[in-house]
Chains A and B, each alone.
Chain A
Amino acid sequence: MNHNPFHWGRPSDSTYGPYNQQIAHASNVNPMARQQQQSDFPTMHTQRPMMTGTSVLAIKYQDGIVIAADNMGSYGSLMKLDNVERLLKVGQDTIVGISGDLSDLQAIQRILNDLEIDESYDAGDDEDALAAGLKANHVHEYLTRIMYNRRSKMDPLWNACIVAGFDDEGKSFLKYVDLLGVAFASPTLATGFGAHLAIPLLRQRVDSEADVKKLTKADAIQLIKDCMKVLFYRDARSLDKYSMAVLSESDQKVEFHKDVKVEDMKWAFAKGIKGYGMPQL
C-alpha cells in the first residue's frame, strides 16, 4: 500500500488546479516559525534600490589617491536631495565612496562606525596607536565579507563601494567591492555610469600600475574634475556639486574638499543647433 497521501488518486490538476499544500500542512504551531522551517531557501528580501546615489570615481597618482562622488540623492527620476555626502571617512586615513541604495549606504555607515569604535577601543587618545590601527585593507576585507555574506543570504546591501586609503606599510590602497561581493583592485576605479564613461578617460592617463608614478597630484585632480564634468553632461542622475578627497602617501593625510562645483562647461554651441532635420528657424 502506498502510504503517501499525495500519491492517492485525486482530480486532475488541469481541471481543478494544483493541490492547496496549506491543507496538508495545516497546524497550530506558530505560523512564522513554521514558514522558516519549510522553505528550501533563506528568507529573501532581495529588494529594489529606492533612494540612490550615482557614480564614484577614484584614481591613483604618484603620491596617493584622488576619490570623488557627487551629492545627489535620486528617487527614481526625481532629483530629491542635493546634499548627500557619499564619501565616508573611516578611521584616520581611509575613505569609502559608496554608490547605490542610500539606506544601505547608511547601514554600511553604522557598521563601519561600530568597527571603528571596536578597533580604537584600546588606543584611547593615543594618535600613533590610532593611526596604526584600522587601515584601508582591513576596512575593505571586512566590508567584502559583509557584502558577500549578505548576498549569500539573498539579502544584499545594494551598493558598489570603493575603498581608498593606505595599507599597513603605508602604501596606497585602492579596491572595489559591490552587492555581489565582487572585489578587485586597479589603479583606476569607478562605479555606475562612471564605469562606462570615466574609466576610459582615466585609463588614457593611467593604463597600468607603471603609469601611476608619472601622474602628478595637480594632474590627477584635474583629471577627476574633467571626468565629473563628463558625467554631469551625460548621466541623467548626476549633480554638478560633489565631494573630493585627496589622500597623500608621503604624509599619510586626507584632504577633504566639499561642495566642489563642475566648471568650464561648454553650452554656448547650443545656439547653432536648430530643429532636427530639415533647416528651420
Chain B
Amino acid sequence: MDAINVDINHLKKGEVSLGTSIMAVTFKDGVILGADSRTTTGTYIANRVTDKLTQIQDKIWCCRSGSAADTQAVADIVKYHLQMYKANNNGKSPSTKIAASIFQELCYNNKDNLSAGIICAGYDEKNGGEVYTIPLGGSLHQHEYAISGSGSVFIYGYCKKNYKPNMTKDETVNFIKTSLSQAIKWDGSSGGVIRMIVLTKSGIERLLFLPDEYVNA
C-alpha cells in the first residue's frame, strides 16, 4: 500500500464529482461569484443545471468544486457554525474571514477524507468584497480574484492578463462571463449555464446566462 503516491483526485465508489469551473472576483462595489452548472459521474452528466454557489450567511457565499457530497457536507457545517456565531454575538454578522477560517479548519483537519476545493467570498461594510480560496490540502489564501475547478486550468493566462482591480459591476460580469465561457469550451467536465451572485452594499443579486448568451462572449 503506497501512502505517498496516492491519487487524491480519485473519487470513492459511487461518488459524484463537481468537475467544475468556478471563480470569485472582487470589484469596486463588492464581490461577484461565478460558476458553471455541470455535475458529472465519469462522463455522464448527472445534473446539467447544478447550483454550485451556496449561501453560508446573508452576504457570505461559497463556490464548491470537487466531490459534491463532501462540499455540501462542509458547507452545511460552516453554515451552522456561523448561525451559532450570530446567535451568540447579539446578532452581529460574522466577517468573511471568519467563514473562510472555519472552512479551512474543516478542510485541513479532515484532509485525508475530503475532496473539496472551495472559494469563499463575501461582502461587508468594513472590508468591502473579499475572496478566500481553500484548495485541496486545507490551506487558506486571500486573493483579489480566485479561480478553481478542473476548467480553471485553461483560463489562468486569460484571467491574469485581463483582471483589473476596482472594475465596475458590468466589467466584472463580462470578465467572469468570458472567462467561464472559455473554461466551459475547453473542459469536458464543465458546462451548462453560467450562474453568478453579486454581493454589494445594495444587496444580493442572482444572475443567469444561458449557452446562447455566453458561447460567443
Which A residues fall within an 8 A CB radius of B? 74, 76-79, 193, 233-237, 265, 267-271, 273-277, 280-281
Contacts and interface: CB of A to CB of B under 8 A. Distances in A.
B159 interface: no
Nearest to A268: B210
Chain A binding surface SS class: loop
A77 B188 contact: yes
B1 interface: no
A33 to B, nearest CB: 37
A236 B43 contact: yes
A274 B45 CA distance: 18
Given A276-B51, A281-B206, 9 more contacts: A77-B189, A79-B186, A268-B210, A269-B49, A270-B193, A270-B195, A274-B206, A275-B51, A275-B55
The 9 closest A-B pairs by CB, nearest first: A270-B49, A77-B188, A280-B55, A267-B210, A236-B43, A270-B193, A236-B188, A234-B45, A236-B40
Nearest to B184: A79
B186 A78 contact: yes
16 contacts: A77-B150, A77-B187, A78-B187, A235-B43, A236-B44, A236-B191, A237-B43, A237-B188, A267-B192, A270-B210, A275-B51, A275-B55, A276-B54, A277-B76, A280-B54, A281-B206
B81 interface: no
Contact of B188 (A78, A269, A270, A273): A78
Interface of B: 19, 37-38, 40, 42-45, 48-51, 54-55, 72, 76, 150, 154, 185-189, 191-193, 195, 204, 206, 208, 210-211
A271 B208 contact: yes
A267 B50 CA distance: 12
A269 B195 CA distance: 13
Contacts of A234: 44-45, 48
Nearest to B64: A276
Contacts of B208: 270-271
A82 B43 CA distance: 18
B38 to A, nearest CB: 7
A281 B195 CA distance: 13
A32 B181 CA distance: 51
Contacts of A237: 43, 188
Given A235-B44, A267-B210, A281-B206, A79 B188 contact: yes
A74 B43 CA distance: 12
B36 to A, nearest CB: 11
A74 B188 contact: yes
A281 B38 CA distance: 20
Nearest to B44: A234
Given A236-B19, A265-B211, A281 B55 contact: yes
A276 B18 CA distance: 13
B62 to A, nearest CB: 12
Contact of A79 (B40, B72, B187): B187
B192 A193 contact: no
Contacts of A236: 19, 38, 40, 42-45, 188-189, 191
Given A193-B43, A237-B43, A268-B210, A274 B188 contact: no
Given A193-B43, A236-B38, A265-B211, A274 B185 contact: no
B19 A77 contact: yes
